[in-house]
Structure 1
Amino acid sequence: MTNSGALSAEIRHIYLGEGHHAYGLHHLNQLQHALQSATRAEAQGLSPALVLAALLHDVGHMVHDLGHAPAEEGVDDRHEALGAAWAAERFPPAVSEPIRLHVAAKRYLCATEAGYQAALSKDSVLSLALQGGPMSPAEQRAFLALPYAQDALTLRRIDEKAKDPHAVTPTLDQFLTKCLAAVLGTQASAAQA
């Protein structure tokens, strides 16, 4: 089982060190976007695991060495895969899988929901092209069959709305205090079962 104190320190190090960089082409930074995402997830009454996934869904942008805006350079940083791999070493699938699938959820929604793609921000449109564009019907069916697809869709909708540079949110420490013990306690209970 992961030590929650050490994990909290690691997350604080990442988000307080790298989180000040711009979130795409928006007038907010990665930390603000993460906190808004977690705030929205909590306001919807979602599980601590999904609140934590919302908080950490873009951690992949902060654990690579491709710079702070690789999409503008025509590079897909595969942040969902990097973030999911990072999270899977520390958390149960209820946290890591929605992170892994949140880009696929964007592709799914672009293919299936009228107006979704047109409402994407400029940087989301840039990254969508690099990520494979809207899903084909076969990809849509395969995506929906995945165990955490619905959580990923929920996370993606939260992600799209968490872009207000003036939003007031709880602090990173408040979310870590609330969520880590609940999620790691669940993880420990599952391992003992």
Structure 2
Amino acid sequence: MYDEDVTEVEHALQAAALAQADDAPDHLVAAALLHDVGHLVSDDNVSLEEDLTDDFHHERIGAQFLTRWFGPEVTAPVALHVPAKRFLCAVEASYLDGLSASSLRSLHVQGGPMSATEVEAFERRPYHREAVIVRRWDDRAKVGGLAVPSLDDYRTILGRLVL
């Protein structure tokens, strides 16, 4: 299980479906779909509990993996979706209150809310706004039993974006 109620794949498909429901451009639909691929391509022996107690930097692993096929419009939001959570916790008081239990645990492992200096640096990063958008879909994509399009339904979008 990825989180309380969904698997990794269900979570990814829900995030992509949320992006499509928001009429996001293809590159953000792809980033939403692939944002946690680092969990899948990193050490298969890492359990959910370990991932919540040690930071394995799945966002960096995933972004690096994806650079073989996609440009920064996809890979940068993937790389920045964890810092985006830390950013949102620092700049929106209500954001922290809405995090799931596992997101709260991982936030602690990932460094907690950003400092003012980190916020300024994050806001200077290319694609930081897109990463925040992906982060919000990520947070909402944890609904058990939700019917969403299949992975196959995203082939055309991904195909258009491949380098």
Tell whether the structures are fold-level matches, with TM greater than 0.5: yes
Q: Deviations over 1:25-47 (max 9, x none)?
A: x1110111000000010111111
CA distance in 2, matches of 1:141, 1:182: 34
Q: Residue 40 of structure 2 is aligned with which of 62, 87, 94? A: 62
Q: Could you say what secondary structure the match of 2:108 adopts?
A: helix
Q: Deviations over 1:38-97 (max 9, x none)?
A: 00101111111110110010001111114231234x211210010111111221111100
Equivalent residue, structure 2, for 1:154: 133
Equivalent residue, structure 2, for 1:31: 9
Q: Which runs of 5+ in 2 are unaligned?
A: none
Equivalent position amino acid for 2:18 in 1: R
CA distance in 2, matches of 1:159, 1:180: 19
In the alignment, does 2:33 pair up with 1:79? no
Q: Deviations over 1:99-145 (max 9, x none)?
A: 00000000000011022112111111111111111001111011011
Q: How many residues align?
A: 161
Could you tell me the TM-score, scaled by structure 1's length? 0.80
Displaced runs of 4 or more, over 4 A: none
- Aligned-residue offset at 1:181: 2.4
- Aligned-residue offset at 1:182: 1.9
CA distance in 2, matches of 1:181, 1:57: 17
Please list, as runs of the form range in 1=range in 2, the aligned pairs for 1:41-190 lying within 5 A after superposition.
41-65=19-43, 66-69=45-48, 70-72=50-52, 74-176=53-155, 178-184=156-162, 187=163
Q: Deviations over 1:138-193 (max 9, x none)?
A: 110110111100000000001011111121111101112x2122212xx4xxxxxx
Q: Which runs of 5+ in 1 are unaligned?
A: 1-21, 188-193
CA distance in 1, matches of 2:34, 2:91: 26
CA distance in 1, matches of 2:96, 2:158: 34
Could you tell me the TM-score, scaled by structure 2's length? 0.94
Equivalent position amino acid for 2:142 in 1: K
RMSD: 1.1
Q: Could you say what secondary structure the match of 1:116 adopts?
A: helix
CA distance in 1, matches of 2:115, 2:131: 18
Q: Quick check: which has more Rg, 1 or 2?
A: 1
Q: Any conservation in 2 of the 1:53–1:98 contact (CA below 8 Å)? A: yes
CA distance in 2, matches of 1:68, 1:175: 28
Q: What is the identity percentage for the equivalent residue pairs of Structure 1 and Structure 2?
A: 42
Q: Could you say what secondary structure the match of 1:135 adopts?
A: coil
Q: Relative contact order: is structure 1 or structure 2 higher (C-alpha 8 Å, sep ≥ 6)?
A: 2
